[in-house]
Amino acid sequence: MSNIDALLGLPARALAVHDQRNTLLANNIANADTPGFKARDLDFRALLKSASAESAPIRTTRAEHISSPGVTAPASEPLYRRPLQNSADGNTVETDIEQAAFAENAVRYQAAVRFVDGRAKSLLSAIRGD
């Protein structure tokens, strides 16, 4: 998998983060009526910054050099969302905010899919010699 990460780069890692965020946001929406449920989200900018810092693998030209492990998507613990209004039952899900965040993330996910698809097609074209 690290070879694919190296070929597709940061957009592939962004795709994985968008997928993880979609799952969290959908879970928040599904639990909007669950008393005491705490809404969670990912800090996408921090994850992307971390992934871009890791995206340049280390080249080794001698046996004494330190080799680079495979580049993977950064891991992050979901953060708890602070509600704009408190609820009587302790639930922090605000449905309108969650739905807007889900819709925005879905659009970004689709854009990342198209970018990765385009890069994969370009690589395949280069391999074939088209």
Domain boundaries of the chain, sorted by first residue? 2-128
Question: What is the C-alpha to C-alpha distance for residues 109 and 35, in angstroms, rounded to an integer?
Answer: 30
Are residues 36 and 91 in contact, defined by beta-carbon separation less than 8 angstroms? Answer: yes
Are residues 2 and 72 in contact, defined by beta-carbon separation less than 8 angstroms? Answer: yes
Q: What is the pLDDT of residue 64?
A: 60
pLDDT in tens, 48-58: 777 666 544 55
- Residue 41 in 3-state DSSP? strand
Q: What is the pLDDT of residue 88?
A: 92
Record the pTM.
0.70
Other CB atoms within 10 A of residue 15 CB: 19
Listed residue (50, 10, 44) closest to 24, CA to CA: 44
